[in-house]
Amino acid sequence: MLNFIYHVPTKIYFGKGQIKSLGAELEKHAKKALIVTGQGSVKKHGIFDDVVKEFSAAGVPFAELTGVKPNPRLKSVYNGIDICKKEKADFILAVGGGSVIDTAKAIAAGVKYKGDVWDFFTKDIVCEDALPLGTVLTLAATGSEMDTYAVITNEQSQRKLAFGSKAVRPVFSILDPEYTYTVTKYNTAAGIADIMTHIFEEYFSEPYSAAVPDRMSEALLKVCVHYGPVACENPRDYEARANILWTSSLALNDMLDAGKRGDWASHAIEHELSAIYDISHGVGLAIIVPNWMRFVLNNDTARKLADYGKNVWNIDGKNEMEIANKAIDKTISFFKSLGLPSRLKEIDIGNEHFKKMAESAIECQGEVGSFKSLSASDIVEIFKMSL
């Protein structure tokens, strides 16, 4: 295993009714807060009312930023920074999915920074300080509730980029599985594809001797395989929602790549798709990931893909190559069974921007991926395989 420091200070309140802990957390962290929400789901389904009750009980006033879109835009971040400054908010509460949380993180960073917050995404500048933030999570997918990343789209430049900083890791997150009952089947399925891909990105990487994170990864993938279909078919199944929700946090909270390198090529490729076509991140991943698997499969990588086949899908075969190929087929059919598309054409994406997206994906480092390093022409090939 590689060396690592593990320090994840986000306090998790998990389970039914945990919103009751919000008031005490607000008393600790906030004199005045900014609440960030999306396009209405949390208001429609009563989650916002629960939050407001806690604010009233704690006597903490708040301002609001509403209307954050999926694939959240830089414009919302600028608005949020202005509101925070004007209202003198010293704490941010994100109530929603990854898009709302990522917007809250970028606002938290931007308020404390003299320059343009977009610098953190585009320049070699590390965010050292941010307002504290908490989350009330309503969709199991990104892991943003416990991680250090924010992903924001700059509509003008059509770039969707991430930045990471310990300063924006939430101080607490409230995870009530019942708050995810109203997530549509499509968004639930997309979330499961995202969770599984976070695990893949960490699992399909060196060193192979990092058995602790790899065996944990296989266990969490099995949870997704078992409970994913249940959550899609029975949205109010508490155990299915609970298991998927906790897996979303564990999949991206520094645990599964502790001692490993991580690959992250599929994410770099998908972010280009959602930057240009505004598709759901998890939907893009469900299409790209199996084709990435097929593209990187060779005599060196077959062993790891075969481990995945054997330990997650119980697949047998004559040799590692055969098991690996069957595991990829199984991944495709699993995503399809959740109702997700498996081809770009199904979501009206053609080959018109393949070259531009591939070049953009490798712009920062000249290549992406560690399991197999990918050039721009490799990425174009993966896009073609995904058509």
- List of residues contacting Zn ion (CB under 5 A): 194
Q: Locate 300 and state its tokens.
A: 């060196």
CB of 198 to Zn ion, least distance (A): 6
- Rounded to whole angstroms, the Cα distance separating 95 from 41 reads 10
**Residue 187 contacts which entry, ligand NZQ, Zn ion, none (Cβ below 5-8 A, type-dependent):** ligand NZQ
CA distances from 206 to 2, 217, 303, 304 (A): 9, 14, 12, 10
Give 80 or 143: the residue with its C-beta nearer to Zn ion: 143
With CB under 6 A as the contact rule, the residue among 111, 150, 265, 283 that binds ligand NZQ is 150
Assess 177 for contact with ligand NZQ (CB under 6 A): no
Give 97 or 309: the residue with its C-beta nearer to ligand NZQ: 97
Torsion, Cα of 35, 37, 43, 45 (10° steps): -120
Give the list of residues 6+ apart from residue 27 with CB closer than 8 angstroms, or none.
Answer: 58, 60
Taking residues 103 to 132 in sequence order and writing x for each that binds ligand NZQ by CB under 6 A, - otherwise, the string is ------------------------------
CB of 285 to Zn ion, least distance (A): 6
**Helix (H) or strand (E) segment spanning residue 269:** helix 265-277
Which region, left, alpha or beta, applies to residue 270 given φ > 0 means left and ψ of -120 to 50 means alpha? Answer: alpha
Coil, strand or helix at 246: helix
Coil, strand or helix at 363: coil
Assess 39 for contact with ligand NZQ (CB under 6 A): yes
With CB under 6 A as the contact rule, the residue among 161, 183, 251, 286 that binds ligand NZQ is 183
* 185-203 helix and 238-251 helix, angle to the nearest 10 degrees: 40
CB of 253 to ligand NZQ, least distance (A): 10
- Rounded to whole angstroms, the Cα distance separating 300 from 321 reads 10
Give 191 or 213: the residue with its C-beta nearer to Zn ion: 191
CB of 88 to ligand NZQ, least distance (A): 26
Assess 151 for contact with ligand NZQ (CB under 6 A): yes
Assess 99 for contact with ligand NZQ (CB under 6 A): yes
Decide if 126 contacts 165 (C-beta within 8 A). Answer: yes
CB of 248 to ligand NZQ, least distance (A): 9
Give 279 or 315: the residue with its C-beta nearer to ligand NZQ: 279
Assess 40 for contact with ligand NZQ (CB under 6 A): yes
- Rounded to whole angstroms, the Cα distance separating 313 from 323 reads 10
Give 176 or 194: the residue with its C-beta nearer to Zn ion: 194
Coil, strand or helix at 54: helix
Residues 49-78 binding ligand NZQ (CB under 6 A) are 70-72
CB of 42 to ligand NZQ, least distance (A): 6
Residues 233-292 binding ligand NZQ (CB under 6 A) are 252, 267, 274, 281-282
For strands 159-164 and 149-154, give the pairing: antiparallel
Assess 100 for contact with ligand NZQ (CB under 6 A): yes
Strands (E), the chain: 11-14, 33-36, 62-65, 91-96, 133-137, 149-154, 159-164, 172-175
CB of 145 to Zn ion, least distance (A): 13
**Residue 188 contacts which entry, ligand NZQ, Zn ion, none (Cβ below 5-8 A, type-dependent):** none
CB of 7 to Zn ion, least distance (A): 22
Helix and strand totals (H; E) in the chain: 15, 8
**Residue 307 contacts which entry, ligand NZQ, Zn ion, none (Cβ below 5-8 A, type-dependent):** none
Binding site for ligand NZQ (CB under 6 A): 38-42, 45, 70-72, 96-100, 102, 138-139, 141-144, 147, 149-151, 179-180, 182-183, 187, 191, 194, 252, 267, 274, 281-282
